[in-house]
Each structure stands twice: as C-alpha cells, then as structure tokens.
Amino acid sequence: MKVVIVGGVAGGATAAARLRRVDENAEIILFERGEYISFANCGLPYYIGGTIEDRDELLLQTPESFNERFGVDVRVLNEVVSIDKEGKKVSVQDHKSGKTYDESYDVLVLSPGSTPLRPPIPGIDGKNIFSLWNIPDTDAIKAFVNEHDLESATVIGGGFIGLEMAENLHDLGLKVNIAEMAPQVMMPIDFEMAQIVHGHLKKKGVQLHLNNGVKEFVQNGDGTEVVLSDGTRIPSDLVILSIGIKPNGELAKAAGLEVNERGGIVVDENLKTSDENIYALGDAADVVDFINGGKTMIPLAGPANKQGRIVADNIAGASKRYKGSQGTSVAKVFDLTVSSTGTNEKTLQRLGKVYGKDYHVVHALPNSHAGYYPGAQTIWIKLLFAADGKVLGAQAVGTEGVEKRIDVIATAIRFGASVYDLTELELAYAPPYSSAKDPVNMVGFVAENILDGLMDPIRVEEIPDVDLEKSVFLDVRTEYEHKRGTIPGSLHIPVDELRERVGELDSSKEIVIFCAVGVRGHVASRILGQKGFKTRNLMGGFSLYRQYHLPV
C-alpha cells in the first residue's frame, strides 16, 4: 500500500508516525511545501520573546530524524499542486529543483492546514509588517527584532497568537498596542469574561484599541503608522498581523472534492472526503461540532493530532470515528490563564437561542484552592447550560488551576454531562490544590439552584435596565466592603443582620441582592425569598459588576 500525505506539521506527521506503527510495510510519502515538518507551531511566540532560548527546540523532528525513526519518505519544499483523483496520483512541484513530477497513491491524506489572512489593507506589504505562522516567519521576526533597536510594536488582532505575541514583545521591553476590530479580544470567551483580560492587559501597560480595525498602514521613516478606523494613528516599529486564518482547501476544491462555504474539506465521520481514497484532517477539515451536532472547523493542534491517529488506523483497516471537536482551548496572557470549552454565549445567540429559555448562565468566582492556604487566587468561571441541565460550555480566567477546571468540564461535556453531574464529581482535594467543594462542584451547585428554582439570578449586563421604581438594590456585604464602592443607589444591610432588619425592606419591590461574588447574596436571597420577598441575586457580585463596567 502506498500512502501519500500532504502536509507535514501536526496532523500529517501524526498520521504518518501512527501509520508506520500499525503497518511496517506501507510505503509512506510525506509532502511538505515548507522547509520544516513537525515544528512547534504553538511555541513560536515564546522563541521570539526569549522564553524558549534555543531555536532547535522548535524543530521536534527533522526530515532526516523522522525518516530514521519511522521509515517515512519525507519531502520538504515539495508542494502538491494538484490531485488526479480518478488517476490516483498527485502532481508535485519540487521547489528546490523547480521541477514538477507525478506521484501515485493508493490512499491520499490531506493535512494542508491553514494560512493567515492578509486582507488588502493599504500599506500591508510594509517591511516591518509580519505574520507569524511558521519557522521562516519566526526567523524573519526574530532577525528584525535583533537587528533593530525597536521601541514599539502593534499587534493587529486579539486572538491567541496576537495576545501571545503581545506578551512576548512586552517581555522584550517594547511598548505594545493591540488593535482589534471586535469589541473584545479572545473570541472563544464572551465579552464580560474578556473584560477581565482587558483589565489585565491594561494593568500590564498594553494599550488596547477595541472596535477599531486597521484602515491603513503608512510608512513613516523606519517605522509604520497604523491608522485605525476611528482615525487613531499608532507609530510602530514593528507590526504583527494576526487577523485570522483561512483553511487551505484550494487543492481539494480544484480536485473536485466536496468543500464547505469557507473552503474547508468535507469529511465523513471516518474523516474520509467525498472521494473513497482520500482522507482529510486538521485545520482544513470540516468536522462535527460536538456540542450542537453541526459542522465546524477547529484550527487547533489537539484535534489535528487525534484526527491524524484515527486516519492512520482507518487506512490500516479500522473504522474509527471522529466524534467531533468541542473547541477546548487555553492561552497564557501575561499572568492570566484564559481557557474555554464547548460553546460560548455569542454562538448560542447567533444560533437564535434565548437566555433564560433555551439556556442559562452561571458566573462564579471561587478560589483556586483553600482560602486559608497561602496563594489562593480567584478563578472567574462562566458556565453555560441548557434548560434541561445539559452542560453546553464553560469559560475560565485566572492565574492558578484555571485550565484544570476547564479540562474537567470538557471531560464531563464529552459524556453529555448535566449540571447535576458536576455537583457529584469527586475531585482531588488538599488545601494547596482545591477546596472540599471544588470550583467545578460550586458552579454545578449554583446551576442546580437556578434549575431547582432556589435562586433567581440577575446578570451584570441587566443592571442598567433595572427599574428603580419597581426594584431596589441591596448590598449585603460588610460595612467595610460597602464603603469601598457599591452599585449607586443601593441599600446596605449586611447578610448577618438581615433576619433582624428585614423590616427595613419594602416588600412591594423586587430586591436585587448583591455581595462580592454571589455566595452571601444567595444566602440573603434565600432568607428574603422564604419571607415572601421577590429577590434576584447578582451572579459574580460586585466583583464582576466592577470588572464588566471597567472602561478600557
């Protein structure tokens, strides 16, 4: 059997290595149009910033080492330019010799990846404007940084790579701006969670320009002025573009394989394309969205690696299913960890789902570990779940134990968990690691309270709409906390005095209760609710309220 693989980074290399392990006799040819295979694409920003010191660390395999280990014929700088699916052969351009040749296959695997977008913005070809996607990009940026005395950088786009680059350029001592067309950075999380990230970036001295795309790049001496849509001009010694990516589906489309509207390659559950002899995987494969059963494309290394293994097994005769991607991700953003899994609220709303009817939300701010053990940090968690309790997604931001909780919820989602299941999870507890009620249990408890009617939540986004003719804000925190800032116009009765002072409240009004994070607010809402008051409890409390309204 002769297997030809197009693309030698995450998914393609995994498929080749696994195929060799299950079939010592297959002929395996791996084509890569670039010079490098199996490089550490997620590590590139950290090499530029100096956290990873040795460039060789980025090269996990060389063509030679991969061939020695796995007996795979690796051909770098060889680009597959067309597929003859009837003739079962590909046409290959050898960028070293300039020659083109054909290579036949029994099975073809497409792992073409994706390419950073470079929209036709005036001036985008300026000499200090870079994308970061592969080793040559990295070398170019590193050389530029080393050879020039840079003072400022502007990152266009606040996605994973954009924020990682912002951090690494900041680490190099540069003054960093980020321009983002959307109202927030880090699109996998929702706006109120992104506000925590915005605040952190601001604290680190990064200047954020939200709702502000690039209109133009103007060369200005050795630098570039980045001109934003609102007219702001940012003088920049270096510009990093990380606007987005597009799947490399052209080859598949030109060959007559079925592709989706974004050019992604359509595959079945075995990851086979519309052609019997061709598989596809990775960034460019149109796979099942594990949460809603629709289709999605997830440009992440984890899914690509899993798909590579499944494709190899299926080529060797198995019939393994790829059951879908749920978009679990994490990024380090300076001191923060930002992680999420499943669907977010923006997506639910785009799909026409209605908050309070089709889905619910929990905000909680538990400690990363027992509060009495030194170093405990707040984890900001948002949980999304359906009216029947099914967990739809989760987002978490903080400095410790953040992605651990997302991993736990991601695992639960994989088994179709409900919020009731989250309350029952038996997770590892000792004071340095967690609390007896783990943060994941805690969000489950809050969700359960909502579904069981024990808590009527109100969200920070709803606060401005509260009608003070019909409602009253009640701050149940301590005197000390209350004096340091509160929601304007709120009454103040500490929760521990509430039973005695209940007479001070107007029972004809809805009581909108808040504390610091929502825990004491819940106790207060239970006291008042059982005394006949209509109550709502502010999820995330004054902490999330203040963060949400933070101007950035």
Residues 419-458 touching a second copy, rule: CB under 8 A, are 421, 423-434, 436-438, 441, 445, 454
Other Cβ atoms within 10 Å of 463 Cβ, number: 16
Q: At what angle do helices 191-203 and 541-548 cross, to 10 degrees?
A: 70
Find tokens 């785009």 and name the residue: 350
State how far Cα 190 lies from the chain centre: 11
**Which CB sits closer to a second copy, 25 or 146?**
25
User: Is residue 498 within 8 Å of residue 477, measured between CB atoms?
Assistant: no
Contact yes or no for 356/459 (Cβ under 8 A): no
Q: Which two tokens stand for residue 4?
A: 């030809």
Our CB check for a second copy shows the closer of 217 and 533 to be: 533
Q: Is 331 in the site for a second copy (CB under 8 A)?
A: yes
Among 23, 27, 35, 42, which one carries the catalytic annotation?
42
Binders of a second copy among residues 105 to 164 (CB under 8 A) are 160
Binding residues for a second copy, total number by CB under 8 A: 87
Question: In angstroms, what CA-CA distances link 198 with 103, 245, 397?
Answer: 51, 23, 12
Minimum distance from residue 450 beta carbon to a second copy (Å): 14
Sequence length of the chain is 552
Closest CA to 515 of 536, 538, 498, 496: 538
Residue with Cβ nearer a second copy (290 or 548): 290
Position among 33, 198, 209, 309 found at the interface with a second copy (CB under 8 A): 309
Residues 371-430 touching a second copy, rule: CB under 8 A, are: 372-374, 401, 403-404, 406-408, 410-412, 414-415, 417, 421, 423-430
Centroid of chain to Cα 375: 26
- What is the C-alpha to C-alpha distance for residues 503 and 300, in angstroms, rounded to an integer? 57
The Cα 138–Cα 54 span in angstroms is: 13
Residue with smaller CB distance to a second copy, 221 or 374? 374
Rounded to the nearest whole angstrom, what is the least distance from the CB of residue 456 to a second copy in the complex? Answer: 14
Window 176-235: residues binding a second copy (CB under 8 A)? none
Structure tokens that stand for 481 in this block? 């906390």
**Rounded to the nearest whole angstrom, what is the least distance from the CB of residue 26 to a second copy in the complex?**
10
C-alpha atoms less than 13 angstroms from C-alpha of 181 in its C-beta half-sphere: 9
> Of 114, 154, 273, 328, which one interacts with a second copy (CB under 8 A)?
328
Two structure tokens written together for 179: 């321009």
- The interface with a second copy within residues 247-306 (CB under 8 A) comprises 290, 300-306
Rounded to a whole number of angstroms, the minimum distance from the CB of residue 354 to a second copy is 27
Q: From the CB of 153, what's the least distance to a second copy, in Å?
A: 21
- The verdict on 22 binding a second copy (CB under 8 A) reads yes
Closer to a second copy by CB, 178 or 410: give it. 410
499 is a site residue for a second copy (CB under 8 A): yes
CB of 42 to a second copy, least distance (A): 5
Options 370, 463, 466, 552; binder of a second copy; rule CB under 8 A: 370
Query: Closest CB to a second copy among 111 and 128?
Result: 111
Residue 468 burial class via C-beta count within 10 angstroms: exposed 0-12, middle 13-18, buried 19 and up: exposed
Within 67-86, the residues that bind a second copy by CB under 8 A are 68-71
DSSP class of 477: S
515 is catalytic: no
Angle between helical axes of 439-451 and 402-414 (0-180°, round to 10): 50
Q: Which residues have a catalytic role annotated?
A: 42
